[in-house]
Chains A and B, each alone.
Chain A
């Protein structure tokens, strides 16, 4: 089980090598992530597999501003901008 005492953090603010388990999705009241609504972005993240309990690890970062990031998401790899990754909350630590 993930360590319950570790604080929950946003995936978009983490560095390469960070790993953890998806704890939930969070959205600002005003949509930050471009032209789609929060509800739409939530469903897109879910469809890509960012579902509570999924294991995430940041594998690569872009050159400029360390953006975008490439993450391992369970057994696949996903590229995303940090803006969208900030909506994904992570409980740090490895799953057993």
Chain B
């Protein structure tokens, strides 16, 4: 039983505005699966004006050819909004959302096996005065458990039509759409009686819902015991943590190593494309713009895509299976010490691969404060792009010695750099909370949903949607930053008979020379300062930039490390490492923070605090090292 996606005779097509239906429901009620089942591939994902809340809209054609627009609203327990997502749900239902057409009918999506809280929401929705239809979703699971629902009595008690559905199998979709249309058509206009419920209103509504539940639902004969048994292992204080770490290890490996061949393929493909174009075009500014600016820029955006898709595959699988809430439970105490939410753990861990998918993954955190704090500290985690820089400097300056016979000194420095990133992230989180949120921390109160087998189609759709969002939203801003960095590093070109590296004559070179006095106290030479500018495109580019600066300065480029060891003091090298732990050397990260926070304020704060930390730590490291005789 499916909704016909083919319009019948055009004569039947309603020429009026299409019927608008909004989906409302508790988190974990299968609302997204319902939205997918109703609208199929005809979905548009965007943001609501002025907020970072995702706006999901889709269309379907009813059997008689009438178009219906379906809006998927963020999950909520009540219309009493507590987060930006829930504000959108409330205002959309009440018809107060600016620039949005109020819905003609509301479908309240209920998990048929977990009705208590959603019945209270349904009672609350009724007071809004819009036609409401209750969808008893996952009715197949309820039937399997032997849970009996008297649908006629439930409908009478709630005063709204009730339709049984199985969204993942598209069961009941036609009846649901028909019920919503009928309800919208017969709307008597009861008027909006909704006011924000007080504690005693909530108690009354809850007791009302309990009475209805008792009268119309017979408890399951074979209740779900799997969730309890799984929790016995997965929430076990020790075994649960071991399993979580193992899962994260697999996920991290997949993101870090599994994506590598595809990423190499993408960067190889773009390099080949660039070489091909270079072959055709004459040398000059146009060739440089197309090859080094645009093609390299597009390539540097696309190269993140495999990591983002793999990361979101894991995140959506864990979320849909019901495990994400358990992971948050297990990690809450550790994260809570720094004022972070348990759910911040997975984004922060992903940040070891790359801050960009990590910042996108913070969408699993409901509360804005918790989410923004996580976004602001995620770039401090040592991402994979720092590794080439660390490797270069460590192998050139740190002697290959072992401590106590087993510990490699180079490995120890490497570990120290990672640890510095983690510790500073936690400290910054504490400070952020004190400065921006005045020490406030949200209560941790979260439903642990029953475990479910994720639905392949819904997971695939979610992963593809994340990829599209990344390409469309982040892609545009990252690309423009890349072209800007290219421009600074290329223009103006070197004069005829130039003796120094081309970059030295460019704006980047001028900036490098201009900031040299500022960088002197941290032990940076002008070559190092110049290399920082193209390093803004991506951290690892700094390695290539250093090679360029030194190679064309008349030195052998065969061994950059040896070159650096010759030119730099140990104090400068250590300061450079300290700089790279903190420096906001990644235009893409700033771009994605702008997109995810929907304001320039946060990327500017991020840039400022990371630059201050970088300068401060490099200064301390350099001056200390010089004082100890390493200058």
Contacts and interface: CB of A to CB of B under 8 A. Distances in A.
Interface string B87-131: 000000000000000000000000000101100100000000000
B544 to A, nearest CB: 45
B443 interface: yes
A70 B231 contact: yes
A52 B116 contact: no
- Interface of B (DSSP majority class): mixed
Nearest to B199: A42
Interface string B213-225: 0000001000100
B333 A43 contact: no
23 contacts: A34-B441, A34-B442, A36-B442, A43-B80, A46-B199, A47-B117, A49-B117, A59-B228, A61-B237, A63-B237, A67-B333, A68-B342, A75-B116, A75-B223, A76-B117, A76-B448, A77-B227, A77-B231, A77-B448, A79-B328, A79-B447, A80-B443, A81-B336
Contact of B82 (A39, A44, A45, A70): A44
B241 A43 contact: no
B231 A43 contact: no
Interface stretch (B169-177, B200-208, B277-285): B200-208
Interface string A12-49: 00000000000000000000011110011111111111
Given A51-B203, A81-B336, A76 B116 contact: yes
A78 B446 contact: yes
Interface of B: 77-78, 80, 82, 114, 116-117, 120, 197-199, 202-203, 206-207, 219, 223, 227-228, 231, 235-238, 241, 325, 328-330, 332-334, 336, 342, 369, 437-449
A59 B231 CA distance: 9
B82 A51 contact: no
A1 interface: no
B464 to A, nearest CB: 31
Contact of B437 (A35, A46, A83): A35
Give the 10 A-B residue pairs with the shortest CB-CB distance, closest first.
A35-B440, A77-B448, A63-B237, A34-B441, A60-B235, A46-B202, A64-B333, A79-B329, A81-B444, A51-B206
A8 B199 CA distance: 21
A52 B114 CA distance: 19
Contacts of A68: 329, 332-333, 342, 444
A87 B178 CA distance: 45
B333 A65 contact: yes
Contacts of B442: 34-36
B203 A46 contact: yes
A40 B198 CA distance: 9
Contact of A70 (B117, B203, B235): B235
A75 B114 CA distance: 7
B116 A62 contact: no
Given A51-B206, A62-B237, A62-B333, A79 B116 contact: no
A47 B219 CA distance: 22
A29 B236 CA distance: 35
Given A34-B442, A47-B77, A77-B227, A39 B114 contact: no
Contact of B444 (A47, A64, A80): A80
Given A34-B443, A43-B197, A63-B333, 7 more contacts: A34-B441, A47-B78, A67-B333, A70-B235, A78-B448, A79-B447, A80-B445
B202 A64 contact: no
Nearest to B369: A35
Nearest to B206: A51
B328 A39 contact: no
A34 B325 CA distance: 21
A65 B77 CA distance: 30
A45 B438 CA distance: 23
Nearest to A84: B443
B329 A62 contact: yes
Contacts of A67: 332-333
